[in-house]
Amino acid sequence: MNAMITKKEVPLNFNRVARWYDALQKMNPGYTEHLRLSAERLAVKPDANLLDLCCGTGLSTEALRAVYPQARIDALDASEGMLEVARNRGLAQPLSYILADVMELTPEQLNGPYDGILMAYGIRNMPDADAALARLFPLLKKGGTICFHEYSVSDSKWSRLMWNVVASTVIIPLGQLTSPGAPIYRYLRRSVLEFDGVTRFEQRLRDAGFVDVHTEPTNGWAKGIVHSFLARKPG
Ligand SMILES: C[S@@+](CC[C@H](N)C(=O)[O-])C[C@H]1O[C@@H](n2cnc3c(N)ncnc32)[C@H](O)[C@@H]1O
């Protein structure tokens, strides 16, 4: 497989690393705590109808389930390998797993509309972020909340430097050790460097029709690097 993968090839490349994904994230301090922070920041009602986009192996779904034990959740990903790990996680029902590409998603494939949508480490991987936002907007109920839990370092030299150091000294070497030759970890470094800064992404959300757009920080090493981007569909 080509070392420079395209965004369209990302789900296929996640198939290749799916069985190591959870073990690597366990070594990432704050990963689970930060996903829970974003789940809490959705601030939806206890029995909400929720969508976890790009759910991967279900770590973000697990965060939603922990914060909203009574919610019904649709967990969606385009990688069969990642979704298989998610299905075997044994999270409490009601919960559906859906194999689909966000860029081709239609409301008929889902059990929406939703009170809340979480997209953790997903929007950066979309071939066209604005087209993706246009697809997501109709999936939310009026007044519903969306949270993009995502890396964004382009507005700060310090954050870019920190990210480069962490990616090159920890993430890429560990990725090579567990899945030799897999290009997804180099892609990760590059895609984070190329993704919008906070100001640009907030503007994209406003341009897509969302309101109450704001960004909240994480902590530890990820402070200034991983953020919760929050927005609401007008009521
Ligand atoms: C870094 S993982 C994040 C998994 C999970 N949300 C978490 O927080 O651990 C990114 C996931 O996005 C999925 N993905 C990438 N592009 C996608 C697309 N166009 N449609 C659906 N899923 C996609 C990949 O298959 C992968 O499982």
Domains and CATH numbers, the chain: 7-232 (3.40.50.150)
d(CA 216, CA 199): 13
- The half-sphere exposure of 132 on its side-chain side, counting CA atoms within 13 A, is 20
Ranges of residues in the chain with a pLDDT under 50 are 1-2
65: how many CB neighbours lie within 10 A of its CB? 22
Three-state secondary structure call for residue 43:
coil
pLDDT of residue 1: 41
pLDDT of residue 4: 87
Cα torsion 235, 39, 49, 210: sign? positive
Distance 11 CA to ligand 1 centre (A): 7
pLDDT tens column, 101-159? 999 999 999 999 999 999 999 999 999 999 999 999 999 999 999 999 999 999 999 99
* Among protein residues, the one whose CA lies closest to atom 25 of ligand 1: 11
Q: Which atom of ligand 1 is nearest to the CA of 132?
A: 19
DSSP at 122? -
pLDDT of residue 123: 98
d(CA 116, CA 39): 9
104: how many CB neighbours lie within 10 A of its CB? 9
Q: Which atom of ligand 1 is nearest to the CA of 59?
A: 9
Residue in 8, 10, 74 to alter for ligand 1 test, most ligand atoms within 8 A of Cβ? 10
Percentage of the chain beyond pLDDT 70 is 99
Distance 186 CA to ligand 1 centre (A): 16
Distance 106 CA to ligand 1 centre (A): 17
pLDDT of residue 3: 61
Three-state secondary structure call for residue 69:
coil
**Which residues have C-beta atoms less than 6 Å from ligand 1?**
10-11, 14, 35, 54-56, 59-60, 77-79, 82, 101-103, 120-122, 125-126
Residue in 7, 77, 101 to alter for ligand 1 test, most ligand atoms within 8 A of Cβ? 77
Distance 128 CA to ligand 1 centre (A): 15
